[in-house]
Amino acid sequence: MTHTKNAAFEAVLNSYHRCETAGGLFDTFYDVFFAKSPEIPPKFVQTDMERQKQDVMASVLMALRLAGGDAVARKYVSELAESHSRGRHNIKPELYALWLDALCESIKQHDPQYTPELEQQWREAMRPAIELMMAAY
* Structural domains of the chain, with CATH: 3-136 (1.10.490.10)
Rg of the chain over Cα atoms, rounded to whole angstroms, equals 14
Q: Give φ, ψ of 57 to 5 degrees.
A: -60, -45
Q: With a threshold of 0.85, does the pTM exceed it?
A: yes
Distances 134 to 23, 76, 80, 116, 125 between C-alpha atoms, Å? 29, 15, 11, 25, 16
Chain segment 87-136, per-residue pLDDT in tens:
998 889 999 999 999 999 999 999 999 999 999 999 999 999 999 999 99
**Which pLDDT score, from 0 to 100, does residue 6 have?**
87
Distances (CA, A) of 91 to 14, 36, 84, 113: 29, 14, 5, 32
pLDDT of residue 22: 94
At 123, phi and psi to the nearest 5?
A: -60, -40
